[in-house]
Structure 1
Amino acid sequence: MIHPSAIVHPGAKLGENVHIGPYSIIGEHVEIGDNTRIGPHVVIEGHTRIGCDNEIFQFCSIGAPPQDKKYDAEPTRLEIGDRNTIREYCSFNVGTAQDAGVTRIGNDNWIMAYVHVAHDCQVGNHTIFANNATLAGHVHVGDWAILGGFTGVHQFVRIGAHSFCGVGTVLLQDLPPYVTVSGSPAQPHGINSEGLRRRGFSSAGIMAIKRAYRTLYRSGLKLDEARDKIAEIAAEHQEVGIFLDFIAHSARGIVR
């Protein structure tokens, strides 16, 4: 299933039923799992491992060296899970020795055109990145997060699970789970209640998350005071515990 014009290094490891499109280049240290389809004019290089049942569209750059002046050709890695859709002109870089040494993208992600995932980013499962969403280095993205088109994320920012960024959002601080933001810089606009309903959250759980959100963003309390009140809600609702833990461990400070 390799087009005659494609260049595949003999050292590359390809699974069963892998398709490699015209003029694509697969490097020596690349591993590609079963049933993954690589479109035309794709370059996959570096120490890159791609799982099963992925589809990577044309003109993507996967596993290139990071855009980091400190990088000195260390054998850092890029790992991509299973069942991801990666559309045209995306670029994903390997990690750096200054972090864990690996950039990771999980499973079942929907990644649209022109998305950039920089070195050492850690992307979870079931995320959606709309066109031109961009992650700087060391960004962590939780499961089910949605980044609108042209979202820009500062380095070292964490994005919580089930959160939602509107089009053109600029994230300079951590975004707690469940919260919807937009603007430059990002401003909070409630919780992603529709997304939570679609994913099976109970009405009671959603109401508890709304209470926690109002406590943090609408009560006028200082952050420490709000955390104490949210802890009372979290004692009865596990969903809020995730929200509280994220806030407690934010190194950059949260969008507020």
Structure 2
Amino acid sequence: MIHPLAYVHPDAKLGNNVTVEPFAYIAGKVTIGDGTWIGPNAVINDGAVIGRDCRIFSGAVIAGIPQDLKFRGEETTAVIGDRTMIRECATVNRGTAAKNTTIVGSDTLIMAYAHVGHDCVVGDHCILANNVSLAGEVELDDWVILGGHTAIHQFCRVGKHAMTSGGTMVGKDIPPFIKAAHYPASYVGVNTIGLRRRGFDARQIEEIMNICRIMFQNGYSYGKACGLLEEQLPDSEARKEMLDFFAGSKRGVIKPYQPRMKDQDEE
């Protein structure tokens, strides 16, 4: 159903059972999958490719022009997977010549006022809480949860099943399976609750905790720790995920949290 007070360009391609509420705007170079709901005052710009059964709430802007001074008007896209929900006033910019597309996966929740910058890749089953900001070319692997007001520097990557606390400032890569917090972002433990919710059993979680003890808690350099993982722990999917993440890191990886020591005068 398309409300008569909505604007839908005649060239836009809408699937079956798409609902477009009053005052929504849909440009011409847009594709929207079956069953998707476009809320009042939502803006779907040229280059948007939206999957099935998505929900785009009031004031959200999909495929806005990148906030990048190098952008020269090239034709690029913003691709949203199936069953993804984008809440009020969230923004997903389209890509630039760097990668040509911004991607948000399926079954992902982007809460109010969050921003996904140009050329980002957001995986499946992710949650971006209110006011999360992703700079350009950030990569989130599947099942990442970012607490409210988390800000991530351009080119950073966050590994699978990782989680940040609210207000975390991220300037380096966050490995899989862990929790990060503080400023600068630091390793503060294994995301055990999240892993349990996703079906990891006790043996798998213990294995991940052993991996993280070597990587983050025993004081080794990351190069030394990666070598010890290969020497001391059996081959497994979790070990491979961690080693591959470190091997592919371009910005470097966050460090373990080091609490500040009180000055003697304060004691």
Q: Which runs of 4+ in 1 moved over 3 A?
A: 232-236
Give the deviation of 1:232 after TM superposition.
3.4
What secondary structure sits across from 1:224 in the alignment? helix
Question: Any idea what the Cα deviations from partners look like across 1:208-242, whole Å, max 9, x if unmatched?
Answer: 11111111111111221100112235533221210
Give the deviation of 1:21 after TM superposition.
0.8
CA distance in structure 1 between the aligned counterparts of 2:245 and 2:37, rounded to whole angstroms: 36
The residue that corresponds to 2:242 in the other structure is 243
The residue that corresponds to 1:11 in the other structure is 11
Worse overlay, 52-61 or 226-235: 226-235
Question: Which amino acid counterpart does residue 23 of structure 1 have in structure 2?
Answer: F
Give the deviation of 1:253 after TM superposition.
0.3
CA distance in structure 2 between the aligned counterparts of 1:126 and 1:29, rounded to whole angstroms: 27
The residue that corresponds to 2:169 in the other structure is 170
CA distance in structure 1 between the aligned counterparts of 2:235 and 2:184, rounded to whole angstroms: 33
The residue that corresponds to 1:28 in the other structure is 28
Quote the sequence identity (%). Answer: 45
Question: Which amino acid counterpart does residue 9 of structure 1 have in structure 2?
Answer: H
Worse overlay, 226-235 or 136-145: 226-235
For residues 1-256 of structure 1, the aligned pairs below 5 Å read 1-97=1-97, 99-232=98-231, 235-256=234-255
Mapped contact 1:235–1:241 kept (Cα < 8 A): no
What secondary structure sits across from 2:246 in the alignment? helix
What secondary structure sits across from 1:132 in the alignment? coil
What secondary structure sits across from 1:78 in the alignment? strand
What secondary structure sits across from 2:155 in the alignment? coil
Mapped contact 1:46–1:65 kept (Cα < 8 A): no
What secondary structure sits across from 2:88 in the alignment? coil
Mapped contact 1:205–1:237 kept (Cα < 8 A): no
CA distance in structure 1 between the aligned counterparts of 2:3 and 2:108, rounded to whole angstroms: 26
Give the deviation of 1:85 after TM superposition.
1.1
TM-score, normalised relative to structure 1: 0.98
CA distance in structure 2 between the aligned counterparts of 1:222 and 1:112, rounded to whole angstroms: 37
Identify unmatched segments of 5+ residues in structure 2: 256-267
Mapped contact 1:234–1:244 kept (Cα < 8 A): no
CA distance in structure 1 between the aligned counterparts of 2:58 and 2:200, rounded to whole angstroms: 37
Question: Any idea what the Cα deviations from partners look like across 1:48-71, whole Å, max 9, x if unmatched?
Answer: 110000001101111111000000
Q: Give the number of equivalent residue pairs.
A: 255
CA distance in structure 1 between the aligned counterparts of 2:28 and 2:208, rounded to whole angstroms: 48
Question: Any idea what the Cα deviations from partners look like across 1:112-144, whole Å, max 9, x if unmatched?
Answer: 100100000000000011100010000000100
CA distance in structure 1 between the aligned counterparts of 2:127 and 2:76, rounded to whole angstroms: 26
CA distance in structure 2 between the aligned counterparts of 1:179 and 1:230, rounded to whole angstroms: 16
CA distance in structure 2 between the aligned counterparts of 1:76 and 1:250, rounded to whole angstroms: 26
Identify unmatched segments of 5+ residues in structure 1: none
CA distance in structure 2 between the aligned counterparts of 1:4 and 1:247, rounded to whole angstroms: 53
Question: Any idea what the Cα deviations from partners look like across 1:160-199, whole Å, max 9, x if unmatched?
Answer: 0100000000100000001101112111111101111111
Give the deviation of 1:42 after TM superposition.
0.7
What secondary structure sits across from 1:236 in the alignment? coil
TM-score, normalised relative to structure 2: 0.94
Describe the shift of the 1:88–1:234 C-alpha distance in structure 2 as closer, same or farther (beyond 3 A): farther
Give the deviation of 1:151 after TM superposition.
0.3
Question: Which amino acid counterpart does residue 227 of structure 1 have in structure 2?
Answer: C
Q: Please, what is the CA RMSD of the aligned residues?
A: 0.9
